[in-house]
Amino acid sequence: MNPLDANDPLARYRERFLPTPGLISYLDGNSLGRPLAASVERVETFLREEWAGKLIRGWDDGWMSQPLTVGDELGRVALGAAPGQVAIGDSTTVLLYKTIRAALDARPDRTEIVIDRENFPTDRYLVEGIASDRGLTVRWVDTDPAAGVTPELVAAAIGPDTAVTLFSSVAYRSGFLAEVEAITALVHDAGALTIWDLSHSVGSVPTPLDDWGVDLAVGCGYKYLNGGPGAPAFLYVRRDLQGSLRQPIQGWLGSRTPFEMGQGYEPAEGIRGWLSGTPPMVGLQAMRDMIALIDEVGLDAVRTKSVALTEYAITLVDEHLPTATLASPRDAARRGGHITVDHPRFAELLPGLWASGVIPDFRRPDGLRLGPSPLSTSYAEVEAGVLAMRDALGE
C-alpha cells in the first residue's frame, strides 16, 4: 500500500464505489465519475418500486418535486446556495442556452457577450450561435492555455456594452481555478450579469455562490457528482433575479399551472419557472447518493484531499516525466481538481494506456488530463498512472 493511502482519513470511502475489472488507475473522475454501489441499489429500487410499482401515479407521489428538493440539497451541500435557487433538469447545454438568453434579454441595450477562447466548446459554440442570431458581438478574452481567466484580463475586456460574461470556475483543460468572487464584482461594476460554468468544480471545489454574489450558474451532474453518463445538469439563479429574468424555453413544467394545460404560458414563480420539460427521473437518482456522500464527508475535506492528490501527481510528473510539460498551475490556490500534462507522443500512447487499465483523458493538441476524484481515487492509483506514462514514453 502507498503510505499516503495508509494515512488518508478518507481512504475508507473508496469501498463505496463499484470496482472495475482490470482497472489499475482511473484518472478521469473529472470527466465521468465512478458509480456508487448505493446508486445501483437506488436506481434498481426506483425501477422496480417507483416506476413499475406506481407507474403514472408516481408524479403525484414525489417525482414532480424532486428537481427542486434535490436541487436544494445540492445547493446546501456543494454550492453555498440557500433553498429555492437551484433546480436539476435538462443538459448543461440547454441550461447554458437558457441563462445566456435570459441575461441578454435583461440587458437589451447592450451588444456584447464576453467569453474566453479556452472555455469549453459548448460554452463557446452557444455564445457564437446566440450572438449570430441576435446580431451581437462576441468579445473574446485570450488566456494562457496553461492558466485561465484572471480579473485583470476580464477588466480589460468588459465595458458599457457588455451584457453578460460566461466563464468556467475551473478551466476544463488546465484546471485553472478562477477568482470567481473578484471577477463577478468587476462584471457587476460594469453593469453586466455573470454566468459561471461549474461543471469541473461542483463537488470538488467549494463555490459559495450566495456569498460571492453570482448571478447565474450551470453545471453537469456526471463528473464529481457521479450521476452517470448523461446525468441531468443543474441551474442556479440568484433569488433576487428570479422575478426579473425570464428563461426562453417555455415548457409545460415551468408554467404556473402545468396540469391545467391552459392556453397561454405564464411562468411559475421562483426557480420552478426555469424548468421546461418532464423531469429526468432515472438520471436524477444516482446524483442523490453522491450529494449525500459529500454531505457526510464535508466539502472542505473533499477539497483538501483533492489538493493533496494533484500535488502528489505533480511531484510524480516532475520526477518521472522529464520530457513532459505541466500545463496546469502549480499553485494549489489557483488549481481545481485536475492537472494536464503535455507531451507530443501522448495521443499515440493513449490507446495502449487504456488497454493496460490506466485511464487518463486526452485533450488536444497533446495533453493528458489527470483527474483524480477525491473520494474514489487512491494515491496508489495516481502513482501507477504516472509510472505507466513513464514506461510508455520509455523514460
What are the boundaries of each domain within the chain? 3-36+298-393, 44-294
* Cβ neighbours, 10 Å, residue 193: 27
CA distances from 143 to 96, 113, 270, 309, 365 (A): 22, 16, 36, 26, 16
**Structure confidence at residue 207 (pLDDT):** 98
**Structure confidence at residue 354 (pLDDT):** 98
3-class SS of residue 376: coil
Decide: residue 211, CB within 10 A, 0-12 exposed, 13-18 middle, 19+ buried. exposed
Q: Say if CB 74 and CB 86 are below 8 A apart.
A: yes
As a whole-number percent, the residues of the chain with pLDDT over 70 amount to 100
Q: At what angle do helices 281-297 and 37-45 cross, to 10 degrees?
A: 140
Q: What is the mean pLDDT of residues 60-76?
A: 96
**Structure confidence at residue 259 (pLDDT):** 87
- Mean pLDDT taken over the chain: 97
pLDDT digits (tens, 9 = 90+) for 225-238: 999 999 999 999 99
**Structure confidence at residue 1 (pLDDT):** 83
* Cβ neighbours, 10 Å, residue 42: 16
Q: Could you give the residue numbers annotated as active site?
A: 120, 197, 222-223, 369
Residue 395 confidence (pLDDT) above 90? no
Band the pLDDT of 114: cuts 50, 70, 90: very high
**Structure confidence at residue 353 (pLDDT):** 98
CA distances from 186 to 15, 161, 167 (A): 44, 14, 13
- Tell me which CATH code domain 3-36+298-393 carries: 3.90.1150.10
- Tell me which CATH code domain 44-294 carries: 3.40.640.10
Q: What is the mean pLDDT of residues 130-156?
A: 97
**Structure confidence at residue 123 (pLDDT):** 98
